[in-house]
Chain A
Amino acid sequence: MYESNGERYFVVDGHMHYWNAAPDNWVPGAEKYAEGWIKCFHAYQGLGPPETHWSLEHFEKYSEEDLMKDVFEDGYVDVAIFQPTYLKEWYKEGFNTTERNALMGEKHPGRFVYNTRWDPRDGDEGLEQLRRNVDRYGSIGCKLYSAEWNAGSRGWKLTDPAAYRYLEACQELGVKNIHVHKGPTIWPLDKDAFDVADVDHAATDFTDLNFIVEHVGLPRIEDFCFMATQEPNVYAGLAVVIGGLMHARPKFFAKVMGELLFWVGEDKMLFGSDYAIWEPKWQVEGFVAWEMPDDPELSDYPRLGVAGKKKIMGLNAAKLYDIKVPDEFQLPASAGTPGAQEVLGQEQPVAGA
Chain B
Amino acid sequence: MTVLARGGDPPEPPAHGRAACPPVSPPGVLAALETVRDPELDEPITSLGFVASCTVSADGDAEVRLRLPTYFCAPNFAYLMVADAYDVVSALPGVRHVCVVLEDHFASDAINDGVAAQAGFVRSFSGEAVRELDSLRADFLRKAVMAGTDQVCRPLLAAGTSPAALLGMTLGEVPPSRALSRLRERRASLGLPVGDAAPLLIDPVSGAAVAADGVPLYLRRAQVTRVSIEANAGICRGMLRHRYATPGQGESEEDQ
Closest chain B residue, CB of each to CB of A36: B71
Q: How far is the CB of A263 from chain B (nearest CB, A)?
A: 7
- Say which one of A20-28, A61-69, A172-180, A183-191 lies at the interface with B: A183-191
Q: Which residues of A contact B242 (CB under 8 A)?
A: 42-43, 46-47
- Say which one of B27-35, B47-55, B57-65, B231-239 lies at the interface with A: B231-239
A352 and B142 contact, CB distance less than 8 A: yes
- Given A185-B74, A192-B139, A350-B217, the answer on whether A248 and B69 have CB atoms closer than 8 Å is no
Number of interface residues of B (CB under 8 A): 54
A32 and B106 contact, CB distance less than 8 A: yes
B76 and A190 contact, CB distance less than 8 A: yes
What mask results when residues 114 to 156 of chain B are scored 1 for a CB within 8 Å of chain A, else 0?
0000000110010011111101100100110010000000100
Q: Which residues of A contact B146 (CB under 8 A)?
A: 222, 352
Is B16 in the interface zone, CB < 8 Å from A? Answer: no
Closest chain A residue, CB of each to CB of B242: A46
Interface centre among A219, A245, A350 (most CB of B within 10 A): A219
Interface centre among A190, A225, A344 (most CB of B within 10 A): A190
Bound CA span A220–B40, Å: 10
User: How many CB-defined contacts (below 8 Å) exist between A and B?
Assistant: 148
Q: Which residues of B contact A244 (CB under 8 A)?
A: 235, 238
- Given A43-B239, A189-B129, A349-B214, the answer on whether A218 and B232 have CB atoms closer than 8 Å is yes
B217 and A245 contact, CB distance less than 8 A: no
Q: How far is the CB of B137 from chain A (nearest CB, A)?
A: 10
A352 and B221 contact, CB distance less than 8 A: yes
Q: Which of B204-228 contact A (CB under 8 A)?
A: 204-206, 208, 210, 214, 217-218, 220-221, 223-225, 227-228
Closest chain A residue, CB of each to CB of B243: A43
Is A40 in the interface zone, CB < 8 Å from B? Answer: yes
A40 and B234 contact, CB distance less than 8 A: no
Number of interface residues of A (CB under 8 A): 50
A245 and B131 contact, CB distance less than 8 A: no
Q: Which residues of B contact A351 (CB under 8 A)?
A: 202-206, 208, 210, 214, 218, 221
Is A111 in the interface zone, CB < 8 Å from B? Answer: no
- Given A222-B224, A259-B227, A262-B220, the answer on whether A189 and B203 have CB atoms closer than 8 Å is no
- Given A154-B128, A188-B131, the answer on whether A44 and B224 have CB atoms closer than 8 Å is no
Is A290 in the interface zone, CB < 8 Å from B? Answer: no
Select one of B72, B121, B239 contacting A47, CB under 8 A: B239
B128 and A188 contact, CB distance less than 8 A: yes
B205 and A218 contact, CB distance less than 8 A: no
Select one of A37, A46, A255, A262 contacting B231, CB under 8 A: A255
Is B73 in the interface zone, CB < 8 Å from A? Answer: yes
B238 and A46 contact, CB distance less than 8 A: yes
What mask results when residues 216 to 248 of chain A are scored 1 for a CB within 8 Å of chain B, else 0?
001111100110000000000000000011001
Is B70 in the interface zone, CB < 8 Å from A? Answer: yes
Closest chain B residue, CB of each to CB of A262: B220
- Given A249-B231, A249-B234, A351-B203, the answer on whether A222 and B143 have CB atoms closer than 8 Å is yes
Bound CA span A15–B135, Å: 34
A47 and B228 contact, CB distance less than 8 A: no
A39 and B214 contact, CB distance less than 8 A: no
B136 and A245 contact, CB distance less than 8 A: no
Closest chain B residue, CB of each to CB of A352: B204
Bound CA span A191–B136, Å: 6
Select one of B202, B208, B224, B241 contacting A263, CB under 8 A: B224
Is B94 in the interface zone, CB < 8 Å from A? Answer: no
Select one of A39, A187, A259 contacting B224, CB under 8 A: A259
- Given A46-B242, A190-B76, the answer on whether A344 and B227 have CB atoms closer than 8 Å is no
- Given A32-B106, A33-B106, A184-B72, the answer on whether A218 and B221 have CB atoms closer than 8 Å is no
Closest chain B residue, CB of each to CB of A348: B217
Select one of A185, A219, A226 contacting B221, CB under 8 A: A226
Interface centre among A191, A218, A263 (most CB of B within 10 A): A191
Is B158 in the interface zone, CB < 8 Å from A? Answer: yes
Is B75 in the interface zone, CB < 8 Å from A? Answer: yes
Is A18 in the interface zone, CB < 8 Å from B? Answer: no
Bound CA span A42–B242, Å: 9
Bound CA span A39–B136, Å: 28
20 A-B residue pairings within 8 Å (CB atoms)? A33-B106, A37-B71, A43-B242, A188-B131, A190-B133, A191-B76, A192-B76, A218-B235, A219-B40, A221-B224, A249-B235, A252-B227, A252-B230, A255-B227, A263-B224, A351-B202, A351-B204, A351-B205, A351-B206, A352-B205
Top 6 nearest A-B pairs (CB, nearest first) are: A36-B71, A46-B242, A351-B203, A221-B228, A219-B232, A184-B74
